[in-house]
Amino acid sequence: MKRKEVLLYVRSSGYLKGLKPAIIYLKTNQGKIYNGGFKYFVMSLKNDKLYFQSLSRWFNKLDKKFDFEINVDEIIRYQHITSNRMFNVLVIYLKDRKFLDIYYDKGIRDTFVIEDNIQRTIKCFEEKNIKELVMEEKDEKSNTEREESD
């Protein structure tokens, strides 16, 4: 997929709803925000709304029937996960116990713009006082100390 060309097309067509666009993909998640199966989206941010505009199967145009948006005020935490060398995951947690896993590719020449725009979106979250959820890593030393104290 030529992500740069798709982003340029979406920007020039005038249908892009927000700023900082990034091509992401969503899978059916347990968070009950998106249940439509594997699909590519253009994610963008503007005026305290996070827009998800679905791309058609062959990336020729936007497919409006799967579009949705999330108010930034509803987001309470986010988590940025580096899963492997091919993609990262940005998880958004909402006030009503719903969440959304946002997958995006990384490390390819045409994904640098996408990675940069995801980082800019995260900075906007931090400016809105939305904090990152940090999972504590298990420390082997503390585990052995606990076992010895039992």
pLDDT along the chain (150 residues), means of 10: 78 86 86 84 92 82 87 94 88 93 88 91 93 72 50
**pTM (2 decimals)?**
0.82
> And the tokens for 72?
């930034």
pLDDT given for residue 104 in this prediction: 93
When divided into structural domains, the chain yields a total of: 1
CA distance 1 to 67: 21
pLDDT given for residue 31 in this prediction: 76
> Domain containing 145: what range?
3-149
Label residue 118 left, alpha or beta by phi (over 0 means left) and psi (-120 to 50 means alpha). alpha
pLDDT given for residue 59 in this prediction: 64
pLDDT given for residue 10 in this prediction: 83
CA distance 55 to 94: 24
pLDDT given for residue 77 in this prediction: 95
Give the CATH number, domain containing residue 53. 2.30.29.30
